[in-house]
Amino acid sequence: MNNQLHGPGSPKPFLAYPRGEFDLESGNSWKVRTSKNLQSEPFKMLKSIGNRIYYFYKLHPVAICLISLSFGVSILIVLSAYESRFRMMGYRRIGDLSVGSGSYPFANLCNLVMVAGHSVYTSSSCGKIDREDSWFLEPYQKQPGQAATFLSHIKEGVEIAAKDEGALLLFSGGETRKDAGPQSKAQSYWAVAESKGWFGKQDGVRSRALTEEHARDSFENLLFSVCRFRELTGAYPQNITVVSYDYKEERFVYVHRSAIGFPEGRFFLFGTPTSPTAKEAAKKGEASVRIQFQEDPYGCLDSLHLKKLKRDPFHRIIPYPNGCPELKGLFSYCGPVPYPSSLPWT
């Protein structure tokens, strides 16, 4: 009979109360006790280690202090190294600027030569580059000999870069004139230099002459070109040379340079004269603009800001500071006093 009840086909016994959790005599449930030895073992170990450290400290307090100090310094050094490495990797990833494996197309160049553009070349024949009707001129620019001043800037920029094998030549200027069409000042200057053969050999200045095509005023000529330099080289320029009119020297050297905090001893301006017939009017107009920039160094308020909006007829999206992440704060800053935070060159 027992065999039938507990045979292969018989149902399994049912336990009404789990073993070890119910007392049949008292009718009370109780929990399985956990071994005290298993619970207290880790605490005993920690207490033992703590006691050893305490007794060692009593015997050798100076040694413990030196060991703790060394450990803390080591941790700080490791964290600092990882932070620097992460930051540099992050800079190289922004905008997917690198070519190949973490390299830049002009990483060997260290100086910036920037030619500020003043007009757009509109003629279909590059043989007429010295004529005023070949350029799109504002009313105040329509003076005899004005076109020749543009050519002077282009040629001087090329010659300065030719004397410095470590220089990157940038023609700067955006598509600021609606009637001139979607053509930038920078591209006009580069095309003129190319058509006249001023770049020289293929592996000469031409190979390191590029454009910055978003600037809408002189401050942006400087700031945007510095950012463009960072995009192309992976670093910031050691020296900056600006090619423009000589009457703009004070504006560039003292107002714009100060606004970006670039060292005066590493900043140079090569100025050329305007046409004789436009000299007086140019000086008068420059004095007015310089005062505006002295009151609004970053061109972000009132008349200077409105002027930039008018000089963007095609609503171009400015890519900066994507290529120069270290200058993000400077690009967003607006105030009457110089940018207060540190910069890569300060």
What confidence tens digit (pLDDT) does each residue in 3-52 have? 444 445 545 544 444 444 444 444 554 444 544 555 567 667 777 777 77
Whether residue 340 lies inside any domain: the answer is no
Neighbours of 49 (CB within 10 A): 10
Whether residue 49 lies inside any domain: the answer is yes
Task: Flag whether pLDDT at 135 surpasses 90.
Answer: yes
- Give CA–CA dist 134/119, Å, rounded: 10
Contact 286, 254 (CB under 8 A): no
Domain match, 126 and 151 both: yes
pLDDT tens for 180-191 read: 999 999 999 999
pLDDT at residue 83 in the model: 53
Total structural domains within the chain: 2
pLDDT at residue 189 in the model: 97
* Tokens read off for 336: 């009457």
- Give CA–CA dist 57/73, Å, rounded: 20
Domain match, 299 and 173 both: yes
Q: Which of 99-103, 310-314, 321-325 has the lowest mean pLDDT?
A: 99-103
pTM of the model: 0.72
Domain match, 71 and 172 both: no
Domain match, 170 and 218 both: yes
Rounded alpha-carbon distances, angstroms, from residue 7 to 13, 15, 16, 51, 164: 12, 18, 21, 61, 101
Whether residue 24 lies inside any domain: the answer is no
Domain match, 288 and 243 both: yes
- Strand-pairing partners, residue 115, are 171, 243
Domain match, 224 and 271 both: yes
Domain match, 198 and 49 both: no
Domain match, 82 and 231 both: no
Whether residue 7 lies inside any domain: the answer is no
Q: Where are the beta strands (DSSP E) in the chain?
A: 111-116, 120-121, 135-136, 167-172, 209-212, 239-245, 267-272
Domain match, 89 and 116 both: no
CATH code for position 210: 3.40.50.620
Task: Flag whether pLDDT at 87 surpasses 70.
Answer: no
Q: How many helices (H) and strands (E) does the chain have?
A: 11, 7
Whether residue 104 lies inside any domain: the answer is no
Domain match, 91 and 129 both: no
Q: Identify the residue with better confidence: 29 or 120.
A: 120
* Tokens read off for 203: 């592996």
pLDDT tens for 210-247 read: 999 999 999 999 999 999 999 999 999 999 999 999 99
Domain containing 151 equals 111-332
Domain match, 311 and 267 both: yes
